[in-house]
A and B are shown apart, each in its own frame.
Chain A
Amino acid sequence: MKIIKPATAGTMESSDVIIRIEPAEKPGLEIHLTSSVMQQFGRQIEEAIRGTLEGLGVEDARVEAVDKGALDCTIKARVSAAAFRAADRNDYDWRVKQ
């Protein structure tokens, strides 16, 4: 899935995460994370973001994430929504179990 424009999903409220995805300046996934639980869960959150993007077939993107203590399922939901918005697509395949 090709990222063609900047897009955002999520809010700054507690238990949420705001994800901004934009076209990559260089190949690969570049993830910048700020989190209220960075020390304990920073690596896990980054892996959740990366894993979701890879699952969607996003190879190149720049991601800014501000986490407010979101659960993994919330991270996955916000990344998926932001990626589809940034790819300007709405043909999510619900038949594929993510």
Chain B
Amino acid sequence: MRLRRSMMFVPGNNPGMIKDAGIFGADCIMFDLEDSVAMTEKDTARFLVYNALMTLDYGNIEKVVRINDLSSGLGVEDLEAIVRAKPDVIRLPKTENAQDVIDCEVEIERIEREAGIPVGSTGMMAAIETAGGVLNAYEIAHASKRLIGIALGAEDYVTDLKTTRSDDGTELFFARGMILNAARSAGIDALDTVYSDVNNEEGFRREATLIKKMGFSGKSIINPRQIEPLHEIFMPREKDLIKSRAIMEAIREANERGSGVASLNGKMIDRPVVLRARYLLELAGEDPDGEQEQE
């Protein structure tokens, strides 16, 4: 399982931040060609992110590039450059419906063929940032096999709703619920929006705890300072890990016996229990199928 607890935005026209982006421990880096880049610098940012991806080694960190939307007149040129630099994922902003995903995929596939890149190797994620997009979350999540997740972009969304963001996130409950359920129904990740006030760690922790409890896979972040608290919140509790290891051990023993039924402390282990145990161990960076060390 690829962890996407922390997806860190890096402005695409800032060489210093691009150079250092890999050292903070974020699960994913999202190089941004869209909102953080001035209209007059779209060309320079495209050159910079392209050359950085062609040159710099970010190890196992997932590399995502947020392009400009296709209707802006910039998106296709962004794809022409960026797909050839082979990021893991292209993030499509302002996704309104399934057709937006399909249109982007058609361009990605064309460029993959032209560049001799295996077709299908470029992943996609779609950011939903309007009321219409939220209502279409299900069709968006199911629009392409390339999608690894869908994300909420809350700043544009609350403006569309004619409200503003609040500390408790009341205004986002519906969008979060829709996006989460749409993503999970498609078997992909659900990714929460940014928390913009980087100096308010308490507020950030509250929001991260809420979205983790809801079932989100992770959150976009805008500052490396947000990585540690986010990973801490997503780390399963030790007592849950101990139980999960025991569940997986019981499953292994049952398999070795050739039995289809496993039990722990006299209780039968159901499939959802196994899936949950597996997920918790993967969140903690453990191999659920690995043998436990003997004490």
Give chain A's interface residues, CB within 8 Å of chain B. 9-10, 13-16, 70-74, 76-78, 80-81, 84-85, 90, 92, 94-95, 97-98
Contacts and interface: CB of A to CB of B under 8 A. Distances in A.
Interface residues of B, number: 20
Interface of B: 14-16, 18-19, 43-44, 47-48, 50-52, 54-56, 80-81, 84, 114-115
Contacts of A97: 84
A38 to B, nearest CB: 18
A81 B47 contact: yes
A13 B14 contact: yes
A94 B44 contact: no
B80 A94 contact: yes
A9 B44 contact: yes
Contacts of A14: 16
Contacts of B81: 92, 94
Given A94-B80, A94-B84, A74 B44 contact: no
Given A77-B50, A80-B47, A71 B114 contact: no
A81 B55 contact: no
Given A14-B16, A15-B19, A94-B81, A77 B115 contact: no
Given A15-B19, A74-B48, A81 B84 contact: no
B47 A77 contact: yes
Contacts of B55: 71-73
Contacts of B50: 77, 94
Nearest to B81: A94
Contacts of B84: 94-95, 97
Given A13-B14, A77-B52, A80-B51, 14 more contacts: A9-B44, A9-B47, A15-B15, A15-B19, A16-B15, A71-B55, A73-B55, A73-B56, A74-B19, A77-B50, A77-B51, A81-B43, A84-B43, A94-B81
A89 to B, nearest CB: 11
**Is the contact region of chain A dominated by helix, strand, or loop, or is it mixed?**
loop
Contacts of A15: 15-16, 19
B156 to A, nearest CB: 27
Contact of B15 (A74, A92, A98): A74
B43 A70 contact: no
A41 B51 CA distance: 20
Contacts of A13: 14-16
A11 to B, nearest CB: 8
Contacts of A78: 44, 47-48
A8 B277 CA distance: 56
Q: Looking at A15, A74, A90, which has the most chain B CB atoms within 10 Å of its CB?
A: A74
Given A94-B80, A94-B84, A71 B44 contact: no
Contacts of A84: 43
A14 B20 CA distance: 12
A87 B15 CA distance: 24
A71 B19 contact: yes
Q: Looking at B14, B47, B48, B81, which has the most chain A CB atoms within 10 Å of its CB?
A: B47
Contact of B16 (A16, A77, A81, A85): A16
Contacts of B114: 95
Contacts of A77: 15, 44, 47-48, 50-52
B15 A71 contact: yes
A54 to B, nearest CB: 16
A71 B48 CA distance: 11
Contact of A76 (B51, B56, B115): B51
A78 B44 CA distance: 7
